[in-house]
Amino acid sequence: MPSEPSIPTIPPSAERIIPPGCQTITERQISSLFATPRDRAVVTVGYVAVLLEIATGHKTPAVTDMFKLWDFTLKTYYAGKLQGGQSTATQNATLAFGQALYCLVGLDGSGLTLANTTLDPDNVVQVVFPSSTDQTVVTGSQEGGVMIPGGTLAQPVTISVTLINGTFTFPAGPLNTKLDQYGPFFEFKVVPAQTFANPVVAAACIATPSGGTPPPSVDIAHNVGTGIEILPTIPVSFLTCNGSAFAPTRSVFQLAQDKHYGKALKRLGSLVTDFFTPTPLYASSGGRGGLTKSFSPFGGVDTAVVVQLPASFPSQPQTAPAGSPVASPPSVLVQTTTGHTPLGGASVTFAITAGGGSFGPASSSTAVTSTTVTTDNTTGLATVPNWTLGVGPGNSATANASITLPGSISGLATTGAGISLSGNPVTFSATSTDLIPYQGAGYVYLSGVADIAQGFEQPGFAATAQNGWQTGAGAFGSSNLGASCQSLVATVATPWPNVPAPTDMLLRHSFTLPAWWSAGLTFGIAIDNDFQLFVDGVNVTPTTSPAFDPTSGFVKHEGCATQDSFLVQLTVAGGSHVLAIRARDRGTAAYVDARLSVTH
């Protein structure tokens, strides 16, 4: 039988070559980690070669050969051939050995990692050398991996792909986003840590929580700082999704012959050609990938979101008096399509499309017909402050949402590919009604003998309960109305005591118009018998009406009251106003009701 190769001796002068702060690797350390004389000989010669290259100032070959030595160590570890197999102690010793090698050539090895369970097919750690052809690092399950295009690397690196273990309840995951997340999730690392000169492909076999195919809108994304970068999905050919087999055994490195190895290489002899083989590119199919220049946790995110009415939004159309705000101003919810998670940071543009009106405050002299609101980070809602209706009667508005990257989604920075947002436009409708309708509430009234309460029409008049004034709704009618005008009885809400005649019913009703208001108003009345009309204390009784009596100053009417039997056109500016009516009954039945509407 051929004899085992002898183990070269590490020169005593090696300690003088080790950079300050780095651990010296001893023969005892190599013997305690590597089980066979053959492996110990390979590692010792490789280590001595690196020392010699450092000592002679050949830094680049030293880095390359260090990575070859680390690659051999990893392959031996994964094969279970180190002392202690794949125990925790062996894993820790392997990591310490690798960190010492990195430090030896001036690299930071603190980020080196191995899978917790070596035989777990969801993890892989592999050295990748510079190459002119594409190379892959794929987990044993073939469900996560990286493809490094040829020409990307300037020096060898260690790349690890590790399944992120954790209990994630859909739609949450380890990524810094509120978008719906789809696993499995992998941690991708490169040591030394770096940004690649050219994009590499990070890929995973993304699936739904039940194991099905996720929506086509799911893209690969990874953490960047406190947010994520969404990578446009590209097809990959180096994963086998839904597979359970290990990837083909990773090749080992070729130990390069170098004139600086000197006597140390000669002592290794034929072990070199027998032990190392080239690295093939592994190819299969499936998975979703994206181009990236940096590594971090990766997973799938659904880039499809939806804008819609909030569930609590009232039925449409809403109603409100012209010139007044609706009870529920336009509001939309932006959320994930499948996970239904509210999303902040969406820009929503609201626009009035019919009926006039404004989104601005009533005090604004100009109607605000378009405004942009950002959805709230917590609720996902965007709501305009108010919607004051215009002349109408049909009023409508729309909301169009967008999410533009780079930006913030719920306070988390998001860059990369865009977001697909459906549901636009969301429409809103409302009907503007009379400012003061027939049979409307909100009146302050006082009844009594003719000509009572002179000056009642003035805005500052004390129409208070202490002075006998009451509140009520139209219509106002006498108790004997049914004898002559039976059809009006059902409309009476407030009694008008009209005995002894003549009696007056004094009515005051306030109304407010926004500052930007310019449309005319029409006053209509149903009266039995006579009326005078005032706006803000100014007498606007229609003196040109054929029924106007200049002697009394009243417009006179005989017979049962009918709505809009008299119409008065008014020009009223924005602001708060007081409409006042002095209605007079000259005997028999008494009745008055009025409305104030937009002139069309």
Q: Which of 102, 269, 125 is nearest to 186 (CA)?
A: 125
Degrees to nearest 5, angle at CA 182 with 177 and 183: 115
Q: Residue 402: how many CB atoms within 10 A of its CB?
A: 16
Burial class, 249, CB count within 10 angstroms (exposed 0-12 / middle 13-18 / buried 19+): exposed
Query: Residues near 232 by Cβ (< 8 Å), separated by ≥ 6?
Result: 219, 290, 291, 416, 417
The pLDDT assigned to 116 comes to: 54
Q: Which of 146, 227, 132 is nearest to 179 (CA)?
A: 227
Residues 345, 332: Cα–Cα separation, whole Å: 13
Q: Indicate where the chain has its CATH 2.60.40 domain(s).
A: 307-433
Q: What is the dotted CATH code of the domain comprising 443-598?
A: 2.60.120
**511 with 535: CB under 8 angstroms?**
no
pLDDT in tens, the chain (600 residues): 445 555 555 555 555 677 887 877 878 889 899 999 889 888 988 888 888 888 888 888 888 888 889 989 988 988 889 999 888 888 888 989 999 999 888 888 888 877 654 546 778 888 898 999 999 999 888 899 999 999 999 988 999 998 998 889 999 999 999 999 999 999 999 999 899 999 999 999 999 988 888 999 999 999 999 999 999 888 888 998 864 332 222 222 222 223 323 333 333 333 333 333 333 333 334 589 999 999 999 999 999 999 999 999 999 999 999 999 999 999 999 999 999 999 999 999 999 999 999 999 989 999 999 999 999 999 999 999 999 999 999 999 999 999 999 999 999 999 998 999 999 999 999 999 999 999 999 999 999 999 999 999 999 999 999 999 999 999 999 999 999 999 999 999 999 999 999 999 999 999 999 999 999 999 999 999 999 999 999 999 999 999 999 999 999 999 999 999 999 999 999 999 999 999 999 999 999 999 999 998
Q: What is the dotted CATH code of the domain comprising 307-433?
A: 2.60.40
Q: Is the peptide bond before 406 cis (omega within 30 degrees of 0)?
A: yes
In the beta sheet, which residues pair with residue 581? Answer: 507, 533
**592 with 505: CB under 8 angstroms?**
yes
Lookup: tokens for 597? 């509407």
CA 267 to chain centre: 64
Residues 381, 375: Cα–Cα separation, whole Å: 5
Q: Is the peptide bond before 529 cis (omega within 30 degrees of 0)?
A: yes
For 532-536, the CB contacts below 8 A with 24+ separation are: 532/581, 532/582, 533/568, 533/579, 533/580, 533/581, 534/457, 534/578, 534/579, 534/580, 534/581, 534/582, 535/570, 535/572, 535/577, 535/578, 535/579, 535/580, 536/459, 536/577, 536/578
Q: Residue 48: how many CB atoms within 10 A of its CB?
A: 22
Q: Residue 26: how many CB atoms within 10 A of its CB?
A: 12
Half-sphere exposure in the Cβ direction for 339 (13 Å, CA): 24
Q: Indicate where the chain has its CATH 2.60.120 domain(s).
A: 443-598
Phi, psi of 239 (to 5 degrees): -120, 155
Query: Which residue is it, tokens 């066979």?
Result: 36
Lookup: tokens for 308? 């819609």
Query: Which residue is it, tokens 């590790």?
Result: 162
Phi, psi of 323 (to 5 degrees): 80, 5
Phi, psi of 198 (to 5 degrees): -120, 150
The pLDDT assigned to 557 comes to: 96
DSSP notation for 321-365: ETTSB-SS--EEEEEETTT--B----EEEEEEEES--BSS-TT-S
113-247+282-302: CATH class: mainly beta
Residues 292, 65: Cα–Cα separation, whole Å: 28
